[in-house]
Amino acid sequence: MPASRHQCEFLLLKYVPDPVRNEFVHVGVILREMGEDGRPGAVASVKFTSDWRRVRCLDPDADVGMLEGLESELRRRFEAERSGEEIGRRGLMHVLEDSFSNSVQVTRAKAYLAESVDAGVEELMRMYVETPKREKVSRMSGRAAIQLTMRTEFERAGVWDLMRKRVRAAEYTRVGDPLRIDLAYRSGVGGASGVSGVSSLVRMFQAVSLDGGLGVEAAKGLAFSAESLRSGVERVDQGLLELTAIVEPVRQGTGNREQGTGRRGAAAEASEDELDSEWAESYRFAVETMEEHSIRVLTTADLGRVAETARREMAL
């Protein structure tokens, strides 16, 4: 017999950078199970896209970090509702208006039959929001691919919503600094460092793609900012900074390393005759430049272990 399906309603979240022109991109889905009285029940799920290319195509200045923060806030509100608080449609609109004025809008609720709320959200994301899979495979590369892997692993560990996203370096360096750090969280392990006035360790993670002509420049830019960030974290957060760059492995199958890439970096793990020598030299130079400025360098292959460490440090 076919599995019974649940009566639900869904709403689409759309990003509308210019309400006058009314051009928009769907960025997320909210799905709620309906009660027997026809009102939304306590079981609900919200999911946003992890591929922001369509948003950036529509609005190059889109604040993706704020959009990701909105997803975390909506999830928190729905969790509170399960504990007995009321959010309702008006409460949902209040969250959106507080966060983005009219630039994030919600569609009218529509009926939907789902095997489960979680399965329904995934199906609706495929139908209305996500880029077709074949396009993702062919076009996703560089920093965007690293960022997607970072999100996947931190979500799998259950800590994505607890992390800071797109952190403005200017909060720690000086006004006008355009750098944004992809992810950050505060760990309580810094108190054991013995450094006077330092109460915690702040971990920051930045995707740095070395697969292209701009890789070395990105690495040099992060290295240039490292000391200012370190001093700023100590001043603003009273913490020690551990800054980690996440790069691509040299080749598929590169094994995990326990601590960074080591001197000569990940490029030394593959024989030179397997790589274009100029690219290998650039890769090695970028890694060594970052390490010389006390930046820990890991590859995407290390992210599962990094995410598990974050889960333990956040006591989840």
Please write the tens of the pLDDT for every residue from 16-32.
888 777 789 999 999 88
Cα–chain center distance at 122: 18
DSSP code for 85: -
Tokens of 248: 């691509």
pLDDT tens for each residue of 51-60: 888 888 888 8
* pLDDT for position 263: 47
Region of 111 please: left (phi>0), alpha (psi -120 to 50) or beta: beta
In this prediction, residue 253 carries a pLDDT of 33
pLDDT of 68-84, one tens digit each?
A: 888 888 887 777 766 55
Q: What is residue 315's three-state secondary structure?
A: coil
Tell whether the model's pLDDT for residue 88 goes beyond 90: no
Kind plus residue range of the DSSP H or E element containing 233 = helix 215-236
Q: What are phi and psi of 209, to 5 degrees?
A: -85, 125
Structure tokens given for 148 = 């997607």
312: Cβ contacts below 8 Å, ≥ 6 apart: none
What gap in Å lies between CA 97 and CA 230, rounded to an integer? Answer: 35
Residue pair 287/266 in contact by the 8 Å Cβ criterion: yes
pLDDT attached to residue 132: 66
Secondary structure class of 142 (helix, strand, coil): helix
Spatial neighbors of 208 by CB under 8 A, at least 6 apart, are 143, 146, 215, 218, 219, 222, 245, 246, 247, 286, 290
Q: What is the pLDDT of residues 240-281, one digit of tens each?
A: 999 999 999 875 333 334 344 544 444 444 444 454 677 778
Work out the pLDDT band at 137, boundaries 50, 70, 90: very low
pLDDT score for 220: 92
pLDDT at 229: 96
DSSP state of 253: T
In whole angstroms, give the CA distance from residue 163 to residue 72: 9
Q: Name the pairing type of β-strands 239-247 and 200-207.
A: parallel
Distance (Å) of CA 198 to CA 174, 188, 238, 310: 21, 11, 5, 20
pLDDT of residue 258: 38
pLDDT top residue among 79 and 165: 165
pLDDT of residue 168 exceeding 80, the answer is yes
pTM for the whole structure: 0.60
- Identify residue 60 by its one-letter amino acid code: P
Residue, of 49 and 76, whose pLDDT is higher: 49
**pLDDT at residue 187 tops 90:** no
Residues 101-115, mean pLDDT to the nearest whole number: 84
Mean predicted lDDT score pLDDT of the chain: 79
Any residues with CB less than 8 A from the CB of 202 and at least 6 apart, and which?
184, 185, 186, 187, 190, 233, 237, 239, 240, 241, 242
Which residues, 6 or more positions from 222, have their beta carbon under 8 angstroms from its beta carbon?
179, 206, 208, 243, 245, 290, 295
Per mean pLDDT, which range of 11-15, 151-155, 203-207, 211-215 is the poorest?
A: 211-215
